Amino acid sequence: MGLSEPLYPLHAVSNGSLFYTVNGENTGSSGAGVRGIASGSGGTAYGVFGYSNAASGTGVYGQAANSSGVTYGVYGTANSANGYGVFGNNGNANGFAGHFNGKLRSTQFAELGSSVAPYGNGGTLRGIWYMASATPESSDGHQLLPPNSFYGYLGTSTRYWYLGYASGWNIVSARESKRDLVRVEEDGLADLVMDDIDRLHPTFYKFKVETDQLEPGKEGKYRPNMHLGLILDEAPDYLKDNTLMAVDLYSVATLAVAGVKHNRAEIQELQRQLGLAGSRKVSDFGSETMSLTEMWVPFAPEFADLLNGAVPVVTVTADEPGVSLSVTKKDARGFKVVTSGTRLGFHFDWIAMARVAGKAAQEPVAASVPVSLRNQLHLPDATRATVELAQQQLQERLEHGANGS
């Protein structure tokens, strides 16, 4: 013991394949089968150090055999701010520092990676999985977060994921996070954007890796339906990402809004030139039988409501030659038609038309939307304040969990 290099207080060697060089067992309700402590205040020390040179060996192997209770095959803890409860390292670039055959769970603050430099090789994946509650319904705190904002990538333009699923993917778009703002409506940019839209060709396609038939081993790439999208080399640069090798979907969506606004402005200008701005044409029509020499024809209630008191233009036409019809009275409720002859029982068609003020001329558009719905489309100030309070409380809970307090 401790008589040769390297110096160990206890040094045991075994060549047997079915034996343990060191075996520790504890049958009590507490305690440890093997306990290692490195109490030195400096240097590099190990409470327990395991080493294996075998092709399929294990330096340290721990097993929790009991199927109940809270048990640990290997349990590690560290009290230092820079310490590691369990540390794994692999010097081979193709190897792994850790392997988990099951679920990986973190109930406080988790940091995974080998480098903390923002753009260093390896990078840092920093996640918070704050278990506010064990029930799925209380999952507000379940988040995977980067160390700071505008940090890193999820895939790249040359090494990318095939598919992703989420109920929502939101784009950070606060004015405070942007610079060099120029509106499309300014400096003739709208015409440039519309020209770019003209040059775009939405195209149906499939990726070359996707199959038309279901093939064993390629079930995930089976796609009988087409994609619809843009071709990269046909898109203007402002629709692309930083590498110019991928299309920015948020930019494409915003381009559609810019196109709609441009078209709407042109339509409104045409309406103004034609005298249609702020008004619209409404009509009602029908067929009647002339059973009396004069009769009253009422308008449909929906048409009468749209007139809002206006008197329409009414035209009547008999379905027999030689019949004379006249409209002798009309208002917003209907009209009176008179025949000058004695013949009765014939049919006539009629149409009533009027130009009435549109919603823009009568009232703000929002006023026609039910209040309960409108308050969910344009949030009142009180509701916006509640949203801000909820986000503040959530952030405090996350920070509370990350600090382990």
Task: Tell the residue number behind the tokens 């029509």, with chain if given.
Answer: 285
Integer Cα distance of 47 and 26 in angstroms: 18
* The pLDDT of residue 119: 34
Classify burial at 252, counting beta carbons within 10 Å of its beta carbon; exposed 0-12, middle 13-18, buried 19 or more.
middle
Integer Cα distance of 405 and 398 in angstroms: 11
Structural domains of the chain, with CATH: 183-273 (no CATH), 279-357 (2.60.40.2080)
Rounded (5°) CA angle 338-339-344: 120
* The pLDDT of residue 79: 78
Integer Cα distance of 337 and 293 in angstroms: 8
pLDDT tens sequence for the chain (405 residues): 445 555 556 666 666 554 566 677 767 666 666 777 777 666 677 777 777 777 777 777 777 778 787 778 788 877 777 777 777 777 776 777 777 676 666 555 445 443 443 333 333 333 334 343 444 444 555 667 777 888 888 888 889 999 998 888 899 999 999 999 999 988 789 999 999 999 999 999 999 999 999 999 899 999 999 999 999 999 999 999 999 999 999 999 999 999 999 999 998 888 778 776 667 789 999 999 999 999 999 999 989 988 888 899 999 999 888 888 999 999 999 999 999 877 889 999 999 999 887 654 444 566 678 888 888 888 899 998 998 888 888 777 766 655 544
* The pLDDT of residue 36: 76
Integer Cα distance of 218 and 240 in angstroms: 30
* The pLDDT of residue 29: 67
* The pLDDT of residue 400: 65
* The pLDDT of residue 41: 66
